[in-house]
Structure 1
């Protein structure tokens, strides 16, 4: 693993994010994705909504200065959630672990929630290692796999005093 950082996303990153989020293996792992990962207009509209959201904090994950993924936090009602997507060329080297730790350090609100497809064993393990606790499971339609998928809701709870 190289040097991992989070930086603000800029317009020059949009193509890399789009290409990363079209990777078929990654789409299947994430499961709860865009209906059509190849639809650039839908992607651009989704990204514009997220970047305009005043509660969202969207970052590019870099490894040694190069693009390695995205990580973000946003509000859903009164809850604060986080999400991340790591480019396949950065899988298996601790990039996601480092990026998640950085994001958690920026996001001080607790509880902090995360959702993951139950079949995404790497993400499930990552969240558990980072101190997240499983809260619930539910099943919903996942466009990334074209069928119902179990989703796990995790929370990083406040530290006990």
Structure 2
């Protein structure tokens, strides 16, 4: 498997990250980034922490956490031609880097691969919001 890492999104990563978000089949109900300018403005928001998903030194996606109505939520977009396992590993790394729990994710109901990835990492369905399903990674008991 390729080496997968997350790094702070820098200026050199933005074109590739925007292209993945724009072309992603995943729903991003909490972020509308139709243009590069909208993407740059969204990444610059204080409530957003964006990271490049890197596979063997190439940017293949974007992983972000953001505040939504007082809750912490994750967003992930990975290029469809990325090697298998990139989305799972990127999400695992993101949940490790984001200490706040509960942690939420909102997906289109028909995004079956993403539902499987979330479930595999311990997220459970929390609620339904129209055509979207909200998942939660609850706090762990110590």
2:27 is matched with which residue?
30
C-alpha contact (below 8 Å) 2:8/2:52 kept by paired residues: yes
Aligned length: 141
**Structure 1 segments unaligned to the other structure (5+ residues):** 38-42, 140-149
Note the 1:115-126 alignment, pairs <5 A: 115-126=106-117
**Structure 2 segments unaligned to the other structure (5+ residues):** none
Q: Give 1:67 deviation, angstroms.
A: 1.2
In structure 2, C-alpha distance between the alignment counterparts of 1:3 and 1:108, rounded to whole Å: 23
- TM-score normalised by the chain length of structure 1: 0.79
C-alpha contact (below 8 Å) 2:75/2:105 kept by paired residues: yes
2:140 is matched with which residue?
159
Secondary structure (helix, strand or coil) at the match of 1:83 reads strand
Note the 1:7-156 alignment, pairs <5 A: 7-23=7-23, 26-27=24-25, 29-30=26-27, 32=29, 34=32, 37=34, 43-90=35-82, 93-139=84-130, 150-156=131-137
In structure 1, C-alpha distance between the alignment counterparts of 2:66 and 2:28, rounded to whole Å: 19
Worse-superposed segment, 96-105 or 5-14: 5-14
In structure 2, C-alpha distance between the alignment counterparts of 1:160 and 1:114, rounded to whole Å: 21
Secondary structure (helix, strand or coil) at the match of 2:81 reads helix
Q: Give 1:31 deviation, angstroms.
A: 6.7
- TM-score normalised by the chain length of structure 2: 0.89
Q: Give 1:44 deviation, angstroms.
A: 2.7
Q: Give 1:34 deviation, angstroms.
A: 4.2
Instruction: Give the root-mean-square deviation of aligned CA atoms.
Output: 1.9
In structure 2, C-alpha distance between the alignment counterparts of 1:73 and 1:88, rounded to whole Å: 21
* 1:94-152 CA-partner distances (Å, limit 9, x unpaired): 0011100110011011000000001000001111111001011121xxxxxxxxxx200
